[in-house]
Amino acid sequence: MRQRPPAHCRNAVLAALLAAALPALGATPSFDCSRKINAAEKLICGDDALADLDRKLGEVFARAARSLPTDKTIAYFVAEEQQWTKSRDGCPETPDPRACLSSVYRTRIAELQGRYRMVPTRGPFRFTCDSKPPQDVVVTWYETDPPSGLLETRAGTTPVFQAASASGARYIGDDVQFWEHQGTATLTFGTQAMELNCAPKK
C-alpha cells in the first residue's frame, strides 16, 4: 500500500499547480481603475510597468509628505503635485504616450527621493565657475533612477537629471545643463547662453 505524502507536501504541490494554472495578477496602480478615469489613467491601468510606477510614486509622495514641517509647505507641495499631474495627463497627446508616462513618473520619483534624502547621496561638491564675477556652484548627486542631482547656483536651486553623453556625466534641468568630465565641468544657462568653465573649489 502506497503511503500518501505528508499534508504539508501535498499543500505545497497544490499551491504550485494553482500558481501555474492561474494567470498572474496584474499590477494595480494607486487609484481605482473601476471609476471614471482619463486617457492617461487608462493607459496606466492597462500596463503593469506603469501601474508599478504609479504605486511607487504614491509611496514616495506619502513618505515625503510626512516629513513636511508646516501647513504652508504642505499646500505648496500639493500644488506642485497637481501641476505634475497635468503634465502626466498630457502624455496621451504625445507620439509615444507610454514612454512619456514612464519618463514623467521616473523623473518625479527621482526628484522626490533626492529632495527628501530617501536614497544614498554623494557630495556636496563645490565648483568655481569663470563668470564675471566668478560664481560658486554646489552639486549633490543622488542614487536615483534616473540618476539625479541638486544644482545650487546664485540663481537658485534646480533638480537635474542625467542625460546621454559621449563622455563624462551630463545633467540637465530647467534651462540649465551641468556637464562634468575628468574633474572639471561646464555650466550652461538656457539654450543660447555661453558656457561657463568650472573647476573644483579648493
77/127 same-domain check? no
pLDDT at residue number 193: 67
Domain count, the chain: 2
% residues pLDDT > 70 (the chain) = 85
Residues 6+ apart with CB under 8 A from 149: 114, 123, 139, 140, 141, 142, 159, 160, 161, 171, 178
Is 109 inside a domain boundary?
Answer: yes
149/166 same-domain check? yes
Question: Confidence band (pLDDT; 50, 70, 90) for 128?
Answer: very high
Instruction: Give the residue from 81, 115, 149 where a domain finishes.
Output: 115
pLDDT at residue number 15: 42
104/127 same-domain check? no
125/195 same-domain check? yes
Residues 178 and 164 sit within 8 Å (Cβ to Cβ): no
Is 143 inside a domain boundary?
Answer: yes
pLDDT, one tens digit per residue, over 103-116 is 999 999 999 999 88
Average pLDDT over residues 22-45: 80
Taken as a whole, the chain contains a residue count of 202
Distance between CA atoms of residues 193 and 197, nearest Å? 13
Residues 6+ apart with CB under 8 A from 147: 110, 141, 161, 162
Instruction: Give the residue from 115, 133, 166 where a domain finishes.
Output: 115
- Is residue 120 scored above 90 in pLDDT? yes
Whether cis (ω within 30° of 0) applies to the bond prior to 146 is: yes
pLDDT at residue number 69: 76
Instruction: Read off the DSSP letter of residue 192.
Output: S
Is 11 inside a domain boundary?
Answer: no
Cell of 16: 504550485
Average pLDDT over residues 111-140: 89
Tell me the residue range of the domain where 81 lies. Answer: 39-115
Write the CATH number for 190: 2.40.128.200
Mean pLDDT of the chain: 82
